[in-house]
Structure 1
Amino acid sequence: MLLAYHRMTASLAAHQCRFDELPQTAQDRIQQQVERALQMEQLVLSSPLAADVVIPDSLLQKSMASIKGRYEAETDFIADLTLNGLTQSGLEQALARELKADATLERVAWQVPHATEAEVRAWYDAHPERFSIGKTRDARHILITINEDIEENRREASLERINGVLKELDGTQERFAEAALRYSECPSALNGGTLGRVAKDTLYAELDQTLFAMDADTTSGILESEAGFHILYCEAIYPAQKASYEEAAPKIKAAIDKKRQTQAQKAFVASLLKDNNVERKVG
């Protein structure tokens, strides 16, 4: 059952299909990966660190429910298990082992000291280029979509509608927000069409080029993207700047901690391999 479970998950992750649907070369590659994964899982579970790790039944049942939730009916779930050479009890057993192995590796990570403020500050000072923020804009937009299956959203009809909206605008932020709430077909309409602080190259290219050429408190003409027709309003312009240490510190600390935790987990696995005289394979 353990082998069947790992075959199933590895095949889905790599090829989005069942193991038995793969060509022989792919099956051989998956089989090698599965054998290594099972070997590593067993080494982790046999380690002293895993001895008192207990997986709550509620967590196991939550994982089972998450898998079952991918199927429309219980019968579909059972049928797919059967096709993958699994039973419900076999799946539960495999999940319990996987959860315990993951929890053991998490223990390794928890034992790693967190980055100190001095280390975070040193990293910030050594990498100033990482914290440069380009020019940004506060912007709003109005969207009328194009959908040839809906009469009022066919291209000509949508263009006529967006032209009508443009005529109602008077250049003020207040009127633009009112029009966005009334006409826009973007979820941002509920907030007066606001897009918030926009960095360059985050919008559709057609919109991005126009927005970053606009002055503050100005309205664009009609623009077209693959989503439909737009009107932009540029509220404010912000020059390029450097993120402050206070802004960057949480992300730096998290990145340093994550890197150290990953290194510690790799070292833990390497020690298990060495202690058990297992050759480490790459790939």
Structure 2
Amino acid sequence: MRKNIYILISMLLLASLVLGGCGSNVVATVNGEKITARELDEQVNALKDTLTQQGLNFEGEQAKDIEQMLRRDVLNQMIDRELVMAEIKRLDLMPTDKEVREEIENLKKQLGSEGDFKKYLAANGVNEPKLEEYIKQQLAVTKLQEKISSEVPQPTDAEIQAYYDAHKEQFSQPEQRQVSHILIGAGDYSGGKNRSEMEAKVLALQVVDKLKAGADFAELAKQYSDDPGSKDNGGQYPPFSKNSGFAKEFEDAAFSLQEGQYTAEPVKTMFGYHIIRLDKVIPAKNYSLAEVKDNITASLHQEAVTKKIDELLQDLRDKAEIVNKLAEEPKTKKDGEQSTKK
């Protein structure tokens, strides 16, 4: 996976910022700076907690292998963090104490009160000195990002034109339809009414009769529709194109209507019966280079910045004295060579 400045920030965010750790077993050194097993364990455990909340199971036969993989990956991130922070210090990009305190004060204002700030610290398992250290590192990484970004030239007009010509499909929008509908649901889709399919069809036909008699579509949707996502909006959906995930019967009907027309014969889907009205046809559009130039410029510049950061990280690794005790194939450093390749 390509690393960029946002991954560097994430590495800092993962850090528990434990101050100390003396006496713990050393799992890696970076130019003589130690990374202890205690520090690694805390970051791995924090990551495991996050992954567990996202549904990953650390039980069973593969749990040990998964945890070993996490430990190796997290340790590699910690090594990269050490390299990046050392480079930031070499470039004299560390923020001042005043800048750090200003960020702390901004955070307090956002949270509302000193009490809310204390709750925030407790909820995240950090004290104020640790938070200050994290913010200091975050500001430092931001300064590095800004420095690299400023040094990378903006793409030329020729590069922008070439990208546009090669990716024109990205800058087109297919025809879209905006529809309103009234769903008379059946079974589980009848809003708790346990309506049979036949009852749903009969009611849908009655609603159509009301429309023919001049009733307002939006008001009927609010009164009868079993679609909670659209009924309060008069049954209207945001514009959509073909193959947008709607039921085929619904989509086919929407794209067969004329503007202002509704389906006099209710459309049956797995949800029940729909009365569909076509509110607007939005024609297909191809965006000109002038319309998308700013987006292309930003994208190409960010791609160049990402490449520059990749190169910086690789250069830092190549020049560093790294000992990684969790590496699968540890190597002894020879004269002029790095001790461990990651």
Q: Same fold (TM over 0.5)?
A: yes
Query: Which residue number in structure 2 is paired with residue 176 of structure 1?
Result: 217
- 1:142 pairs with 2:182: yes
Alignment of 1:42-191 (within 5 A): 42-47=82-87, 48-49=90-91, 51-53=93-95, 55=100, 56-58=103-105, 88-89=126-127, 92=131, 95-96=134-135, 99-100=138-139, 102-104=141-143, 106-108=145-147, 110-111=149-150, 112-116=152-156, 118-144=158-184, 148=188, 152-156=192-196, 161-170=203-212, 175-184=216-225, 185-191=227-233
2:66 and 2:274 map into 1 onto residues whose CA distance is: 47
Q: 1:17 to 1:219 in 2, by over 3 A?
A: closer
- Give the C-alpha shift of residue 97 in structure 1: 6.8
Aligned equivalent of 1:84: none
1:6 aligns with 2:6: no
- CA contact under 8 A between 1:135 and 1:237: conserved in structure 2? yes
Which residue type is aligned with residue 145 of structure 2?
E
CA deviations on 1:202-258 (whole Å, 9 max, x unpaired) are 241332232223333321243455665432211343454422334433432332233
The structure-2 alpha-carbon separation of the partners of 1:252 and 1:51, relative to structure 1 and needing over 3 Å to count, comes to closer
Could you tell me how far apart the structure 2 residues matched to 1:164 and 1:152 are?
20
Could you say if the C-alpha distance between residues 155 and 247 of structure 1 is closer, same or farther in structure 2, counting changes exceeding 3 Å?
Answer: farther
Query: Counterparts in 2 of 1:238-257, with a 5 A limit?
Result: 238-257=282-301
Q: Which residue of 2 aligns with 1:34?
A: 74
Q: Scaled by the length of structure 2, what TM-score is found?
A: 0.61
The answer (yes or no) to whether the contact 1:115–1:257 under 8 Å persists in 2 is yes
Residue number among 250, 253, 258 corresponding to 1:210 in the alignment: 253
Q: Which one has a bigger Cα radius of gyration?
A: 2
| Consecutive unaligned residues in structure 1, runs of 5 or more | 82-86
Partners of 2:177 and 2:237 lie apart in 1 by: 9
Per the normalisation by structure 1, the TM-score is 0.71
Q: How many equivalent residue pairs?
A: 264
Alignment of 1:230-245 (within 5 A): 230-245=274-289
* Aligned-pair Cα RMSD in Å: 4.0
Does the 8 Å CA contact 1:43/1:272 hold for their aligned counterparts? yes
Letter in 2 for 1:258: Q
What amino acid maps onto 1:265 in structure 2? I
Query: SS of the counterpart of 1:52?
Result: coil
Q: Residues 107 and 271 of structure 1: is their aligned pair in 2 closer, same or farther, counting only changes over 3 Å?
A: farther
Distance in 2 separating the partners of 1:171 and 1:147: 28
Residue 266 of structure 1, CA deviation: 1.4
**Counterparts of 1:18 and 1:205, CA distance in 2:** 32
Q: Percent identity?
A: 22
Change (3 A) 1:163 1:28: same
8 Å CA contact 1:223–1:231 kept in 2: the answer is yes
Q: 1:170 to 1:260 in 2, by over 3 A?
A: farther
Partner of 1:267: 311
TM-aligned CA distance change 1:99 to 1:50, over 3 Å: farther
For structure 2, the residue ranges without an aligned partner over 5 or more in a row are 1-17, 19-38, 323-339
User: How far apart are the structure 2 equivalents of 1:96 and 1:200?
Assistant: 47
